[in-house]
Amino acid sequence: MTGAKTPALGFARQSRLLKPAQFDAVYSTRLRVVDGCFSINAARNTLGYPRMGLSIGAKAAGNSVERNRVKRQVRESFRKEAGTLPALDLVVGARNGVRTAHNARLRESLAALWTEVRKRCDP
């Protein structure tokens, strides 16, 4: 199978929210979906593709090992779903449920939240 390329599933710099002003703009829109593990705040952007920022605190997720595990799961889920999401800026925050949830539960939670974001933000 030479010549067949797998699409890149990276989390490029252009796909991230990096500055506090970008996070504040998302929080000010008040479009939010929540479950026991995560909250996702969303705001439309004019870029034509979704971007994501993470807000995974020690209070909700625990020590650095647990926070990094949660962040890896969120980034992976976003990479897989980014092609189906509308042009939004998203901030994913952790809630207390992530501390005890296993990876499969985190993925299920995120999949349901991405579906809800699509429903509420489709033009």
| Domains, the chain | 14-121 (3.30.230.10)
Q: Residue 62: what pLDDT? A: 87
Q: How confident is the model at residue 2 (pLDDT cuts 50, 70, 90)?
A: low
Q: How confident is the model at residue 19 (pLDDT cuts 50, 70, 90)?
A: very high
Q: How confident is the model at residue 123 (pLDDT cuts 50, 70, 90)?
A: low
Q: Residue 122: what pLDDT? A: 75
Bridge partners of residue 52, in order along the sequence: 16, 90
Please choose, from the candidates 8, 11, 86, 10, the residue with its C-alpha nearest in 3D space to the C-alpha of residue 45: 86
Q: Residue 11: what pLDDT? A: 74
Inter-residue contact 9 to 57 (CB < 8 Å): no
> What is the spatial distance between Cα 93 and Cα 79, in angstroms, rounded to a whole number?
17
**pLDDT tens-digit map of 90-112:** 999 999 889 889 999 999 999 99
